[in-house]
Amino acid sequence: MSDFYEEDLLSYTIYVEVSAAYRYNPAFSWSVCKDNIEYDSGLAFSKDDAIAEAKAAATKLSSE
């Protein structure tokens, strides 16, 4: 499994990558962006959780 993930969802782009701040206890930072603006971001301790949180954030943003 790659350390980087990118997906377009509901006109937003989701990015997930290993967080450099957590080098010895890996964590994944995620962000939801559109037109070079970050609308939401977070941190999760598994890649699958980070993807799920980012997708939930993009879904919420698209419904506002």
SS3 of 16-60: the string is: EEECHHHCCCCCEEEEEEECCEEEEEEEECCHHHHHHHHHHHHHH
Stretch 15-21: mean pLDDT, rounded? 87
**Phi, psi for residue 50 in degrees, rounded to 5:** -65, -45
* CA–CA distances in Å: residue 44 to residues 4, 13, 25, 51: 14, 18, 11, 9
Q: Give per-residue pLDDT as tens, 31-51.
A: 999 999 999 999 999 999 999
